[in-house]
Amino acid sequence: MMKKDTHPDYHMINVEMTDGTTFQTRSTWGSEGDTLHLDIDPKTHPAWTGGTRRASEGGRVARFNKRFGGLSLNKKD
Query: Residue 26: in which H helix or E strand, if any?
Result: strand 22-27
9: closest CA among 30, 25, 38?
30
Quick check: 24 pLDDT over 80? yes
For the chain, what are the domain ranges? 1-43
Q: What is the pLDDT of residues 31-72, one digit of tens each?
A: 999 999 998 888 888 777 777 656 556 678 888 888 888 777
Stated as kind and residue range, the H or E segment containing 63 is helix 60-68
Sheet holding 35-37, edge to edge: 22-27, 11-16, 35-37
Q: Is the pTM of this model over 0.85?
A: no
